[in-house]
Amino acid sequence: MTLLAVPNISEGRDPALLALARRAVEATDTRVLDVHTDPVHNRSVLTIAGPAVVSGCVALAGVACDIDMRRHHGIHPRLGGLDVCPFVPHDTGMDDAVHAARETAALIGRDVGVPVYLYGAAARRAETRELPDLRRGGLVRLIERARAGLLPDEGPSEIDPARGVVCVGARGVLIAFNVWLRGDLQTAQWIAASVRSDAVRALGLDVGNGQTQVSMNLIDPESAGIDHVFGWVSAEAARLGAAVVATEIVGLVPERFMPQDAEVARLLLEPGHSLESRLGTAS
């Protein structure tokens, strides 16, 4: 039985803190399968697994809670130091992921003292099921909503603007895939809007140096996978006069969802890795 967690921390620029975070996870005998760090987003995405994966996530929360949200700068939306912590079943069921998510939320709330919202299949309320709904308006807006009655599921009821919250969830496979463009922000935002659907969440972002990014979460890769959305984005970019300069897969992808399009592979900033390859070689 393999249960994965894919915690995202709001740090992509401080090697010392990232090393500390990794050591904290590994000290619980949890395997770190992959770390993807992005200084522009100021964010790192870990993929971790093992029988002690819940303890690994709680340990990571203890490190990440020291990231000050009042001083954090990065182009990715965020609500806390350990921003999101989804559990993803690999060869086990969603019930196991929900159980692990709720246990993790309770332990973070109790032992780390940070408010926790449950989302995805682990949510107990319709208002928190969709992660974009929690993120809408950022941390300031979430603090207002908490004071108006949308209290955290675990931990303190009052949200500290410095520490923020942790969003812990359970979900199926999600692929984070970015396409880098040479073009203006308006063009990237237009392309993001055109590709956005029930299966694809997308944002147009300015990454500096005359480049922009269509940043996507493929939440139903069976119907809209990497090759499909790349074809759509590249066609729209050509129509609007923007050049596709790179592609990026964030984290690990199940083998069946790895890209087959040669152009996607040619443009990858770093080689893509399948989840199965890391599970087989991780020590």
What one-character DSSP code corresponds to residue 108? Answer: I
Instruction: Tell me the chain's radius of gyration from C-alpha atoms.
Output: 18
Read off φ and ψ for residue 116, nearest 5 degrees.
-130, 135
Burial degree of 93 (CB within 10 A; 0-12, 13-18, 19+): exposed
Judge whether 36 counts as a catalytic residue: no
Residues forming beta bridges with residue 205, ordered by sequence position: 213
Q: Which residue has the tokens 């770390």?
A: 35
Each residue of 98-131: b (16+ CB within 10 Å) or e? Answer: bbbbbbbbbbbbeebebbbbbbbbbbeeeebbeb
* Measured distance CA(169)–CA(91) in Å, rounded: 18
Helix (H) or strand (E) holding 178, with range, is strand 175-182
Token digits of residue 223: 């119907």
* Measured distance CA(283)–CA(222) in Å, rounded: 30
Catalytic entry in 36, 76, 90, 273: 76
* Measured distance CA(35)–CA(170) in Å, rounded: 20
Residues forming beta bridges with residue 120, ordered by sequence position: 170
* Measured distance CA(163)–CA(160) in Å, rounded: 5
Contact status, residue 181 vs residue 188, Cβ threshold 8 Å: yes
CA distance to 196, 225, 251, per residue, from 193 (Å): 5, 17, 24
Catalytic residues: 76
